[in-house]
Amino acid sequence: MIKVNLLAVSVGNTRTRLGAFVEGDLVETATYVNGREAKLCDAMSHAFQQLRDREDTVVLMSSVNSDAEEHIEELVKENLSRDVVRLERDITIPIGRQLDPEAIVGEDRLLNAAAAYDVLKQSCVIVDAGTAITVDFVDGSGTFHGGAIAPGAQTQLDSLARRTAQLPETFIEKPVEAIGHNTIEAMRAGVFYGLRGMVHELVEKFAEETGQYPLVVATGGDSQLLYRNYELVDRVVPNLTLSGIAVTLRKHLEQEAEA
């Protein structure tokens, strides 16, 4: 198996994540809010230090944010003096797809699927809990079928505060108990247990419709908060998207070596 040297750049809706892989091992990660250029540039330079002298190092970028991606690509070129390889433009994410012909799927969802299937080699559901929450199904042959998209935890709380007269602004935290004895705890309980219940219902429906009972993997910024120690979820993998970028590069290099 080829061991990649890689700076993975994942541009999300709200944040950009970096991952430095040395000989296939993830040695450093960093996450920064989009728009904070100075901090992002410093983080890129720091993460790249362990890779700078490795001639085979690749800078590989994925994006689900068209407004930010071109600017961040230019920042990478300027600060690291390296060309950027773009997923789905230069390298295809290695996951089968069974989708409607006109469907456009976020690269992060495909990367999560590729990374999960690369390890599990069986049907699985990937829950990515961030600004939005996605619940996607991959079958036992490694084909991505899509799934469901809903507002993430903080997005739901923000919407409640904006669209009601009396509900306050608050941040997502694990509720003290299911019965909220004040407004904020009631809001947190509704969102927290609502998102758990949604995933449970979707996993059951996916299994019923496909005849495959999948393993469930959670990732994303809120995955630890929402799904750690939840009996439905088999594992929480915070860096799944970055691992998907590494899997994509490794398989691309292996195909080139075989050609």
Closest CA to 115 of 218, 227, 256, 40: 218
Please, which contacts does 97-103 make with residues 24 or more away whose CB atoms are closer than 8 Å? 97/143, 97/144, 98/143, 98/144, 98/145, 98/146, 99/144, 99/145, 99/146, 103/146
Catalytic one among 53, 56, 83, 108? Answer: 108
- State whether the Cα torsion 80-83-89-90 is positive or negative: negative
108 noted as active-site residue: yes
Decide if 107 contacts 64 (C-beta within 8 A). Answer: yes
- Catalytic annotation, residues: 108
